[in-house]
A and B are shown apart, each in its own frame.
Chain A
C-alpha cells in the first residue's frame, strides 16, 4: 500500500527566507504528484501538479520537483511571505483516481 510521508511536520521561518518542504512515497508506480495548500478549517487549494514523466513544475515563487525512482518530491518556496503560512500537503495518484495524502507540513512565516 502506498504511504506518503512529509518532513518536517512543522516549520517556522522569518519572512523573506527560501524554504524546502519534503515529501516521500513508498511506491514509485504513480501517475502524478500534487502539492496542495490548506488554510485552517478550509478545503484544499491545488498548487502544482507534476506528471510522472516530468521532473519539475514552477508557478510563481513555487517550484516542485519529482524524483520518481527514489520516491521523493520537494516543494521550494522562494522569498517566503506571511501569507504563505498554511499547511502544505502532497498527494500521489496511484491509479483508480484516488489520492494518497501525506501527513502535511504546517508552515509559519514570521513577519
Chain B
C-alpha cells in the first residue's frame, strides 16, 4: 500500500519556540493532506485540511495563526506549531488519500510533541 512518512517522530521543545512537522507521501501524489491531533487515550480529531496550491482549511476552534500549514508540493505538507505551549503537547498525525473519496486514506506514523 501507499506510504506516508512524518518527520520528526518525536520532538521536545521549550515553551515559546516553534516546531515544524513534515508529512510526505512517498509513492503517490496528494493534492490534499489532513492533520490530526490525538490526546492520550482519545481518538483523532481533525485539525485542518492541507491543500496543494491554496490555503489550508481549518476546523472550528483551531487557530490558523498558531498552526501554520504549508502544502509545498504534491508530496509534502508541513505543520508548524508557533510559540508552542505545554497544552500543545500531543500526538500529531497526518494522512493522505491515495485516490478519491472512495479510496483508502493512509496515515503517517505520527509525531509526539512535548512542550516543556
| A and B pair up | yes
* Interface bits A30-48 vs B (CB < 8 Å: 1, else 0): 0110101000011111100
Q: Is A97 in contact with B93, judged by CB distance below 8 angstroms?
A: no
Q: Is A43 in contact with B107, judged by CB distance below 8 angstroms?
A: yes
- Say yes or no: A102-B105 contact (C-beta < 8 A), given A46-B1, A97-B49, A97-B97: no
* Interface bits B93-116 vs A (CB < 8 Å: 1, else 0): 101010001101111111010000
The yes or no answer to A49 lying at the interface (CB within 8 A) is yes
Contact of B93 among A32, A44, A93 (CB under 8 A): A44
Q: Is A104 in contact with B43, judged by CB distance below 8 angstroms?
A: yes
* Interface bits A81-111 vs B (CB < 8 Å: 1, else 0): 0000000010101011111011110000000
Q: Is A101 in contact with B43, judged by CB distance below 8 angstroms?
A: yes
The yes or no answer to A28 lying at the interface (CB within 8 A) is no
Chain A residue contacts of B42, Cβ below 8 A = 103
Contact residues of A: prevailing secondary structure: strand
| B interface bracket (residues with beta carbon within 8 Å of A) | 20 to 34
Nearest chain B CB to A108's CB is how many angstroms away?
14
A99's nearest neighbour on chain B, judged by CB, is B105
Contact of A41 among B32, B45, B112 (CB under 8 A): B112
Q: Is B104 in contact with A46, judged by CB distance below 8 angstroms?
A: yes
Q: Is B110 in contact with A93, judged by CB distance below 8 angstroms?
A: no
Q: How far is B45's CA from A80's CA once the two chains are assembled, in angstroms?
A: 29
